[in-house]
């Protein structure tokens, strides 16, 4: 069983995944920004579950927007457990609005959480994984970089950046025996606070200029729900199940990508074409050895 760090585990996918992996026997560090303050109730629920179910589920403070916070969280885990096998990069924030109305500062803040945050955590954990020549980086990405719906522009851009960093980082960590998987959920409207807690564009004057589109934005969540395949539950549970399945696979068998899509949007087909193109290009460059993790 692995020692696993999950970012953004107060609610949603991260929270459900923490519960699932702990139930499977992993030692899980569920991280959240403020477990002693605004996240105190969520932290208490996980600690109570650990006692009640007899699982090794621990809470650690980690704000992915702070380098010192990431370093401190990883140091705590290494002091406690002696190793860190898996990082589940899950922390993220949704913003809804018109692209022009987002100030540069709005977009900087969103990228800071959704893309740069994972990089900060990687910088804290990769020295340990490289030294051990083992580890797994599992990124909770999104199908949104393929489907690209309206009124979510900065969020789409941040998730694409998150995905690209994951791919290129994998080239450089594969030679050290560090595996990478990107799990790409489709839209989720149950069991998460993504839509209710979504941020908004900061330039209200520009947003007002787009007022004629407000009725479309107002039905954005309902429009998303209309895409769901009948009989599926668009909740974090299937995503947590897929993460658990992948982490149980032996070294070398973990997929680079896995899609958990409730809208049947054809993302797998696009991914396969992109994979062939990317791998062919990298191989033609003479860097094909970087495409797969290897263990000496």
What is the pLDDT, as a whole number, of residue 221?
79
242 φ, ψ to 5°? -70, -40
**The two three-digit tokens of residue 195, written as one number:** 């839509």
Residue from 141, 287, 118 nearest 278 by CA: 287
**The two three-digit tokens of residue 161, written as one number:** 């950046």
Whole-number Å distance between alpha carbons of 59 and 80 = 12
User: Could you write out the three-class secondary structure of the chain?
Assistant: CCEEEECCCCCHHHHHHHHHHHHCCCEEEEEECCCCCCCHHHHHHHHHHHHHHCCCEEEEECCCCCHHHHHHHHHHHHHHHCCCCEEEECCCCCEEECHHHCCHHHHHHHHHHHHHHHHHHHHHHHHHHHHHCCEEEEEECCCHHHHCCCCEHHHHHHHHHHHHHHHHHHHHHHHHCEEEEEEEECCCCCCCCCCCCCEECCCHHHHHHCHHHHHHHHCHHHHHHCCCCCCCCCCCHHHHHHHHHHHCCCCCCCCCEEEECCCCCCHHHHHHHHHHHHHHHHHHCCCHHHHCCCCC
Residue-wise pLDDT for 254-281, tens only, equals: 999 999 998 989 999 999 999 999 999 9
Average pLDDT over residues 135-146: 97
> What is the domain class of 3-291 according to CATH?
alpha beta
Evaluate if residue 26 carries a pLDDT over 90: yes
Whole-number Å distance between alpha carbons of 205 and 271 = 39
Residue from 5, 271, 291, 22 nearest 174 by CA: 291
**Beta carbons within 8 Å of 277's beta carbon, 6+ residues apart:** none
194-to-91, 271, 289 alpha-carbon distances in Å = 11, 25, 39
Burial category of 287 from C-beta neighbours within 10 Å (exposed 0-12, middle 13-18, buried 19 and up): exposed
pTM over 0.85: yes
What is the pLDDT, as a whole number, of residue 47?
97
8 Å CB contact between 90 and 17: yes
What is the pLDDT, as a whole number, of residue 189?
77
Residue from 233, 142, 244 nearest 186 by CA: 142
Evaluate if residue 216 carries a pLDDT over 80: yes
| pLDDT band at residue 196 using 50, 70 and 90 as cut-offs | low
What is the pLDDT, as a whole number, of residue 197?
72
| pLDDT band at residue 187 using 50, 70 and 90 as cut-offs | confident
What is the pLDDT, as a whole number, of residue 296?
72
> Known catalytic residue: 139?
no
Q: Which of 98, 139, 155, 210 is catalytic?
A: 155
Residue-wise pLDDT for 58-88, tens only, equals: 999 999 999 999 999 999 999 999 999 999 9
| pLDDT, averaged across the chain | 95
Residue from 159, 166, 118 nearest 142 by CA: 159
């Amino acid at each position: 069983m692995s020692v696993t760090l999950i970012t953004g585990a107060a609610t949603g996918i991260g929270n459900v995944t923490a519960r699932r992996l702990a139930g499977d026997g992993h030692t899980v560090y569920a991280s959240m920004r403020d477990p002693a303050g605004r996240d105190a109730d969520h932290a208490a629920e996980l600690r109570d579950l650990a006692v009640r179910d007899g699982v090794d589920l621990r809470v650690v403070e980690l704000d992915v927007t702070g380098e010192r916070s990431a370093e401190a969280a990883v140091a705590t885990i290494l002091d406690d457990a002696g190793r860190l096998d898996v990082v589940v990069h899950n922390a993220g924030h949704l913003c809804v609005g018109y692209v022009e109305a987002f100030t540069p500062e709005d977009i900087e803040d969103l990228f800071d959480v959704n893309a740069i945050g994972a990089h900060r955590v990687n910088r804290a954990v990769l020295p340990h994984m490289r030294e051990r020549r083992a580890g797994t980086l599992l990124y909770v990405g999104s199908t949104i970089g393929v489907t690209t719906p309206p009124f979510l522009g900065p969020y789409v851009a941040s998730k694409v950046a998150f995905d690209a960093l994951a791919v290129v980082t994998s080239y450089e960590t594969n030679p050290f025996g560090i595996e990478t998987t990107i799990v790409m959920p489709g839209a989720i409207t149950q069991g998460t606070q993504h839509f209710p807690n979504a941020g908004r564009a900061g330039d209200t004057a520009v947003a007002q200029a787009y007022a004629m589109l407000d009725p479309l934005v107002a039905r954005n969540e309902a429009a998303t729900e209309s895409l769901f395949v009948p009989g599926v539950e668009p909740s974090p549970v299937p995503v947590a199940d897929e993460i658990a399945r992948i982490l149980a696979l032996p070294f070398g068998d973990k997929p680079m990508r896995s899609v958990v899509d409730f809208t049947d949007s054809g993302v797998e087909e696009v991914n396969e074409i992109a994979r062939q193109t990317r791998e062919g290009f990298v191989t033609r460059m003479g860097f094909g050895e970087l495409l797969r993790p290897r263990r000496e």
